[in-house]
């Protein structure tokens, strides 16, 4: 279904207390929590090299964050994904992960990371309660990896993936954003990882945000082109059914151990199935990645609002989750870039 066709499903909204659904009947089960807007890399498609970050006192404290997650879990959120910026540069990341893992109701705790610090952190994070990991890796060529990330060393990420496997973080997913002029020739090499590893390698269409939108629109590569390149190099992609909701359309190469996924937010939006909310590092609840509507939970937290009030504001914001994004009509989110939202 196209993101712009809004179904009239209000009659399906269950009574309060039955679990959290939005105004279109979509179940809200998944919260992406940005732990910081800071990063130890400067990927060309994500942020400028001279990026300015928020002052630290504008970022939610550990206790504030835990209170919001507790409210989310009481309302029906079951899955938390820690992200950023780069989540592993947050102070006390292992301790904080352990505290989040213990929030009653949270059944699945995952992280999206650039993998640079994972060789040291995979084992303690797994011991603290992290279950799964997504590692962003856009090229297996060290020079291209450096060009895309500006500062990154490919060896660190590969060591991080080994450590994640050894620590029992499973399943491991490898995410690559395909960027024209940087890595569109590298997709077959990345896809080949699934022949030897039981990993999910996913190719993500680049989305436009605010000040970086010009570059992102010009360097956008549709999933169809990426699939054609992979099939030309490695043979046919066989579609497979995955259980549960997954934004990726999933395939397997002949004889492969792992799977290939294509996340086509621009060319084939999956808004109809989206049950995700995002919490920015400064405590804004953002019901859609690609829409600028936000609710300021930090202001409530810092002006002494009662816990019940915070929980109800969370529920109300979730209920108002927009039906879909407007990229097809040229509506580009302006307020934040991806690293300031939480990818």
CB 129, min distance to ligand SAM, A: 19
> Can residue 204 be called a binding residue for ligand SAM (CB under 6 A)?
yes
Residues 260, 214, 140, CA angle at the centre, nearest 5°? Answer: 35
Q: 285 - beta bridge partners?
A: 279, 295
Tokens (6 digits) for 94: 């292992």
What is the H or E stretch that residue 251 is in?
Answer: strand 249-253
Which stretch in 200-208, 242-250, 275-283, 327-335 sits in contact with ligand SAM by CB under 6 A?
200-208
Cα 298 to Cα 63: distance, rounded to the nearest angstrom: 12
Q: Which does 47 bind (CB under 5 to 8 A by kind): ligand SAM, ligand SF4, none?
A: ligand SF4
Q: Of the ranges 71-79, 205-213, 273-281, 317-325, which one interacts with ligand SAM (CB under 6 A)?
A: 205-213
Site string for ligand SAM, 116-135 (x = CB under 6 A): --------------------
**Is residue 277 marked as binding?**
yes
User: Which positions lie near ligand SF4, rule CB under 6 A?
Assistant: 39, 41-43, 46-47, 84-86, 114, 136, 339
- Residue 207 interacting partner from ligand SF4, ligand SAM, none (CB closer than 5 to 8 Å by kind): ligand SAM
35 is in an annotated binding site: no
Question: Which of 36, 112, 259, 280 contacts ligand SAM by CB under 6 A?
Answer: 112
Which of ligand SAM, ligand SF4, none has residue 175 at its interface (CB below 5 to 8 Å by kind)? ligand SAM
Cα–Cα distance measured from residue 193 to residue 21, given in angstroms and rounded to the nearest whole number: 38
- The angle subtended at Cα 250 by Cα 26 and Cα 41, nearest 5°, is 85
Strands lying side by side in the sheet with 30-34: 237-239, 249-253, 259-263, 200-204, 172-177, 132-136, 108-113, 79-83, 30-34, 276-279, 284-286, 295-296
Bridge partners for 173 per DSSP: 134, 200
Contact 252, 260 (CB under 8 A): yes
Min separation Cβ 339 and ligand SF4, Å: 4
Distance CA 137, CA 115 (A): 8
Q: Which residues inside 13-72 make contact with ligand SAM, applying CB under 6 A?
A: 39, 45-46
Residue 180 counted as an annotated binding residue = no
Report which of 175, 177, 187 is spatially closest to residue 140, judged by C-alpha positions. 187
Q: Rule CB under 6 A: which of 66-85 touch ligand SAM?
A: 83-84
Q: Which stretch binds ligand SAM (CB under 6 A): 68-76, 110-118, 280-288, 291-299?
A: 110-118
Neighbours of 320 (CB within 10 A): 13
Q: What residues does 278 pair with on adjacent strands? A: 32, 286
CB of 45 to ligand SAM, least distance (A): 5
213, 332 contact by CB (below 8 A): yes
Q: Which residues are annotated as a binding site?
A: 32, 39, 43, 45-46, 81, 85, 112, 136, 173, 207, 271, 274, 276-278, 288
Q: Which residues are annotated as a binding site for S-adenosyl-L-methionine?
A: 45, 85, 136, 207
- Please report, as ranges, the residues that interact with ligand SAM according to CB under 6 A: 39, 45-46, 83-84, 86, 112-114, 136, 175, 177, 204, 206-207, 209, 216, 338-339, 343
Q: Which residues are annotated as a binding site for GTP?
A: 32, 81, 112, 173, 276-278
């Amino acid at each position: 279904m196209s993101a712009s066709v809004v179904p009239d499903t209000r009659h399906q909204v269950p009574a309060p207390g039955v679990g959290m659904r939005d105004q279109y009947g979509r179940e809200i089960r998944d919260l992406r929590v940005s732990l910081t807007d800071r990063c130890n890399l400067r990927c060309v498609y994500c942020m400028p090299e001279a990026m300015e970050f928020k002052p630290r006192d504008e970022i939610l404290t550990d206790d504030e964050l835990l209170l919001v997650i507790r409210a989310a879990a009481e309302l029906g959120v079951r899955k938390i994904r820690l992200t950023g910026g780069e989540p592993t540069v947050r102070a006390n990341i292992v301790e904080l992960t352990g505290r989040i893992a213990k929030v009653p109701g949270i059944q699945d705790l995952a992280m999206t990371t650039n993998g640079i610090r994972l060789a040291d952190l995979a084992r303690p994070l797994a011991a603290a309660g992290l279950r799964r990991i997504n590692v962003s890796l856009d090229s297996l060529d060290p020079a291209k990896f450096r060009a895309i990330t500006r500062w990154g060393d490919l060896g660190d990420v590969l060591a991080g993936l080994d450590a994640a496997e050894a620590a029992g973080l499973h399943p491991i997913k490898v995410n690559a954003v395909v960027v024209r002029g940087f890595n569109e020739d590298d997709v077959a090499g990345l896809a080949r990882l699934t022949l030897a590893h039981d990993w999910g390698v996913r190719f993500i269409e680049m989305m436009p945000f605010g000040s970086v939108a010009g570059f992102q629109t010009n360097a956008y590569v549709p999933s169809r082109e990426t699939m054609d390149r992979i099939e030309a190099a490695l043979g046919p992609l066989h579609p497979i059914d995955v259980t549960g909701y997954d934004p990726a359309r999933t395939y397997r190469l002949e004889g492969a151990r792992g799977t290939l996924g294509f996340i086509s937010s621009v060319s084939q939006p999956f808004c109809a199935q989206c049950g995700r909310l995002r919490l920015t590092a400064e405590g804004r609840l953002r019901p859609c990645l690609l829409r600028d509507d936000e609710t300021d939970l930090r202001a409530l937290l810092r002006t002494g609002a009662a816990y019940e009030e915070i929980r109800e504001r969370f529920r109300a914001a979730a209920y108002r989750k927009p039906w879909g994004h407007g990229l097809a009509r040229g509506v580009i989110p302006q307020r934040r870039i991806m690293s300031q939202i939480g990818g």
